[in-house]
Amino acid sequence: MPALAPSKTRLQQASNGLARTELEGGLIVATERVPWIRSVAVGAWVRQGPVHEPVQRMGASHLLEHMVFKGTRRRSAREIALELERRGGDLDAYTTREHTGYQARVLRDDLDLALDVIADLLLEPALRAEDLRLEREVVLEEIAGVEDTPDDLVFELHAAELWGEHPYGYSILGTPETVGALEAEDLRELHGAGYHRGNLVVAAVGDIEHERFVERIDGLLRAAPHGERSRDRAPATTVEPGERRVERDTAQTHLLFGSRTFGHADARRVAMVMLSTAFGGGMGSRLFQRVREELGLAYAVYAYQSFHRHAGTCGIYVGTRPELAERVGEVVREELRTVARDGLDATELEDARGQMKGQLALSLDSPSARLARLAGAELYEEPYETVDALLGRVEAVTGAEVAALAAEYMDPDRQVVVRLGPNAS
């Protein structure tokens, strides 16, 4: 068999320690050189997740992520587990609604080994039926764990209410019925359809020479098939507000208030994070001070936000004793109405601004955090923003911008609410 010709590469960006190359077939390689650390954070991401699944195969991407660790053509499951661990490194994987990631953290001298393991997982999973019989049980236990963890389950229930039949509302883990129906051939089909060059992003942060890294990836992933980049559909633009009550015999009642927002690329994303930070992002936030410190109604209360390609979510979680649930709901609604009407005051805005800037600066100390930002830019097909650029955007957010977001998304009468707990009906 003749040797394969080298892939053509195109260097698209190289500055400030950052470099990006697109290999033949759309495979993206991105690095950030940080020469003063001894470790390397490296990963490969596949544009494959629940947004690409039909409802009858819900959970397939997550199950496939599990199955690649059960063995490859060259390594057993035990060998995969020990390859980096015996050298002090770690290897893990995760599935989000839009992609699947495989990551390692190793000493810089072990980078080549980490890349070899990750490439093996991506290209050569065995996907044997006998392994699936065992791993399916592991995932079913994972699903059961969510069912027994109400502060996780309420998020699953809320997503289903908020997004309806759109895959953003699917369970990443799937259901016992959908996971139970998946066969090894289904996973092989999914692997063939999704794990190809057009869907792959490989990134690393550490003391790395970009050109050598690209050459290594080019060699290891030469056999990756070509394919069109996976796309997904946007959800409907509106959702009917209201409250759903789910009765469970739990020690607490769990409340989740939330709204649909905009997608990851929207310029208002930084202002939305600032609003969420000030409203419920820490001990000094409005919700924490009101619900926990002043009234003693809950231990856990916080605001959150997430952004997908086409849309996002902002919301409030609070867990409390059942006899306090009505009062807690009233207080949260009062605070939501106030911020929707008045926005943030100047002190709250500046405190949140300082908190965000500090967190961004501290992320410079974490290769894994740098890696997540580097890969995220490619996965969402957005320009990479340095920390300095992000700090500039945080500094530029105005009170008027935050007030406009609060008015549009924080009004409790426009939100979807899920209440999970005893006597919830």
Catalytic annotation, residues: 65
CB 84 within 8 A of CB 113: yes
Tokens of 69: 């660790």
Other beta carbons within 10 angstroms of residue 394's beta carbon come to: 20
Q: Which amino acid is at 49?
A: G
Q: What secondary structure, in 3-state letters, does the chain show?
A: CCCCCCCCEEEEEEECCEEEEEEHHHCEEEEEECCCCCEEEEEEEECCCHHHCCHHHCCHHHHHHHHHHHEECCCEHHHHHHHHHCCCCEEEEEECCCCEEEEEEEEHHHHHHHHHHHHHHHHCECCCHHHHHHHHHHHHHHHHHHHCCHHHHHHHHHHHHHHCCCHHHCCCCCCHHHHHHCCHHHHHHHHHHHCCHHHEEEEEEECCCHHHHHHHHHHHCCCCCCCCCCCCCCCCCCCCCEEEEEECCCCCEEEEEEEEEECCCCCCHHHHHHHHHHHHCCCCCHHHHHHHHHCCCCCEEEEEEEECCCEEEEEEEEEECHHHHHHHHHHHHHHHHHHHHHCCCHHHHHHHHHHHHHHHHHHHHCHHHHHHHHHHHHHCCCCCCCHHHHHHHHHHCCHHHHHHHHHHHCCHHHCEEEEEECCCC
**CB of 214 closer than 8 Å to CB of 48:** no
* Beta strand pairing call for 416-421 and 242-247: parallel
